[in-house]
Structure 1
Amino acid sequence: MSVVSQFIQASYEKHLEAVNRILRYLKNTPGKGLMFRKTSRKTIEAYTDSDWAGSVVDRKSTFGYCTFVWGNLVTWKSKKQSIVARSSAEAEYRAMSLGICEEIWLQKVLSDFYQECEIPLKLFCDNKAAISIANNPVQHDRTKHVEIDRHFIKERLDSGSICIPYIPSSQQVADVLTKGLLRPHFDLCVSKLGLIDIYVPT
């Protein structure tokens, strides 16, 4: 929806086809919703992703993250980045920084309710270059433009409050927020997000 909404003022036939496709999907899935399950896991996990230069209009990237508290999806966001990223690692790195901020905020909300969570918080990323930059304390010319995010993430890694494991792109659930996916991968991501259809017989 966020992509097609950018073309409201000057829409073409292909934009209307995309809107019709979205409406057909919504019409055929009236019972889709989040299922919150009670679990023994006391974790906060985030999945972050970015599509590098995905906008054909201005070549800005779209980032997305989804966060799970105790195994249940509680927050998600997808938004076009405000500046043009010069590499896929930069676009992913900015998304990682925002995902970590969301995890820290959720941890503070839980502590306000006297709820503990396991440390370190996990942030799953499918970009090995971005993970390498996060773990490498050496300043490179390539990373000067993301220096503030680099220090923020490195500080959290050094304190042990977060960890950033690699996840293959095929298992990255945040893809559904940043990219157009083929139906099998889309359905897999939706099921991993915890969305179920209440009208499907069990």
Structure 2
Amino acid sequence: MLGCKPANFPIEVNHHLGSGIGDPVDKERYLRLVKRLYLSHTRPDIAYAVGVVSQFMHDPHDSHLDAVYRILIYLKSAPDSILFSNHGNLRLEAFTDADWVGSGDDKRSTSGYCTFLGGNLVTWRSKKQTIVARSSAEAELLLKNLICELLWLKLLLKDQGAIHERSMRLYCDNKAAINIAHNPVQHDKTKHIEIDRHFIKEKLDQKLICTPFVSLENQLADVFTKGLSCKQFNYIVCKLDMRNIYAPT
């Protein structure tokens, strides 16, 4: 891939990748390529794209292989690194988002989140949900894993002698999901996720977390749930403090 023209983002907007699209390709070759994209554990900018192509390892087609090649071409032009700096605080914050019925095969949503400690990106995740959400609000209400991660980070800080007394901010761009989390009266249509709802409400009542609204333009978790345009993708990657350490100053 060294002779290819670099790409500015790792996956196409509205890619519509699904099972059986295109001609079958060599399965072993496809598996080797995808497995070598393990660097997504240190590269949040490709986490969503790698998650998408990983879904077709059992039956890869040429459209899926082209998507893998796209990631490789993007990596060629983007030797980014996450930079950490002292912002003078140890605030715990997180951004969460979900792409409702983003999968064309099973209509499941893709959840994504990222957490910041003192303004520095420390954890992130992009994962297809295990159930089919009945609404976009429900898709974004599945916050239990993120809240558990924030509580774990808070305990980790405590073990290091740093006490985090403020409520941890969990930014969401869906006002309906925020209202449902705070108001039990609106839970008539979400009884099938009652346990998660009680867990979230308990942490809100204890003021361990708060859920401020964030605009779509400033939703950093978008990069973990869907393919973005070049402009929006580069804006979010910059906000995640990813920089090309080889770029001329």
Normalised TM-score (structure 2): 0.77
5 Å-filtered alignment, 1:8-19, equals: 8-19=57-68
Aligned match for 2:207, one of 160, 172, 180: 160
Are 2:154 and 1:107 aligned?
Answer: yes
Alignment correspondent of 1:68: 116
Are 2:146 and 1:90 aligned?
Answer: no
- Supply the AA of the counterpart residue of 1:125: C
Query: Partners in 1 of 2:190 and 2:209 — Cα distance?
Result: 21
SS where residue 60 of structure 1 aligns? coil
Query: Partners in 1 of 2:180 and 2:55 — Cα distance?
Result: 33
5 Å-filtered alignment, 1:20-31, equals: 20-30=69-79
CA contact under 8 A between 1:47 and 1:99: conserved in structure 2? no
Alignment correspondent of 2:224: 177
Alignment correspondent of 1:119: 166
CA contact under 8 A between 1:43 and 1:118: conserved in structure 2? no
Deviation of 1:142 after TM superposition, in Å, equals 0.8
Larger Rg belongs to: 2
Alignment correspondent of 2:235: 188
- Supply the AA of the counterpart residue of 2:89: R
Deviation of 1:41 after TM superposition, in Å, equals 1.7
RMSD: 1.2
CA contact under 8 A between 1:176 and 1:189: conserved in structure 2? yes
Deviation of 1:16 after TM superposition, in Å, equals 2.0
Moved more, 154-163 or 180-189: 154-163
Are 2:88 and 1:46 aligned?
Answer: no
Normalised TM-score (structure 1): 0.94
Moved more, 2-11 or 68-77: 2-11
Alignment correspondent of 1:6: 55
5 Å-filtered alignment, 1:132-151, equals: 132-138=179-185, 140-151=187-198
- Supply the AA of the counterpart residue of 2:177: A
Q: How high is the sequence identity, in percent, across the aligned residues?
A: 55
CA contact under 8 A between 1:61 and 1:80: conserved in structure 2? yes
Deviation of 1:19 after TM superposition, in Å, equals 1.3
SS where residue 99 of structure 1 aligns? helix
CA contact under 8 A between 1:42 and 1:118: conserved in structure 2? no
Query: Partners in 1 of 2:187 and 2:105 — Cα distance?
Result: 30
- Supply the AA of the counterpart residue of 1:60: R
Deviation of 1:9 after TM superposition, in Å, equals 3.2
SS where residue 51 of structure 2 aligns? coil
Runs ≥4 residues deviating over 6 A: none
Query: Partners in 2 of 1:62 and 1:18 — Cα distance?
Result: 18
- Listed as ranges, the gaps of 5+ residues in structure 1 are none
Query: Partners in 2 of 1:100 and 1:7 — Cα distance?
Result: 30
- Supply the AA of the counterpart residue of 1:9: H
Alignment correspondent of 1:131: 178
- Supply the AA of the counterpart residue of 2:75: L
Deviation of 1:118 after TM superposition, in Å, equals 4.2
How many residues are treated as equivalent by the alignment?
200
- Listed as ranges, the gaps of 5+ residues in structure 2 are 1-49
* Residues 164-197 of structure 1, C-alpha deviations (whole Å, 9 max, x = no match): 0000111111110110101100001101111111
Alignment correspondent of 2:83: 35
